[in-house]
Amino acid sequence: MSKANLLDRRAVVSELLRDRKGAFAVGGLGASTYDIAAAGDHDRNFYLWGGMGGAVMIGLGLALAQPTLPVVVITGDGEMLMGMGSLATVGLQQPKNLSIIVLDN
């Protein structure tokens, strides 16, 4: 694949959060957290600097606790693999206000 066909991860995250309308943004370990911070610090950003595998579960907890507010989890592929079982719990709970974006970084 040529470099011209690749998305700029940081630009994608910035676009996702541009009109966030009060959404919580949970960043997984590492690059995705840096991408969220680069899009602009916000009171509703939740940065996981050392909780590998926990981003989706934290996002799920926020979504269940605040059902009227959108929650966006932005995480990397490795961090998601460490918390793969969390997707079963999300599937069981099915919160309408939770979005999960997994970056192949």
- Three-state SS for 46? strand
Task: Provide the token pair at 7.
Answer: 């998305």
If one looks up domain 25-103 in CATH, what number appears? 3.40.50.970
Residue with token string 């970056």: 103
Could you tell me where the DSSP H helices lie in the chain? Answer: 9-17, 31-38, 55-65, 77-82, 86-93
- Delimit the domains of the chain by residue range: 25-103
pTM of the full predicted structure?
A: 0.91
pLDDT 10s digits, 45-103: 999 877 788 999 999 999 999 999 999 999 999 999 999 999 999 999 999 999 999 99
15-40 pLDDT per residue, tens:
999 998 899 999 988 889 999 999 99
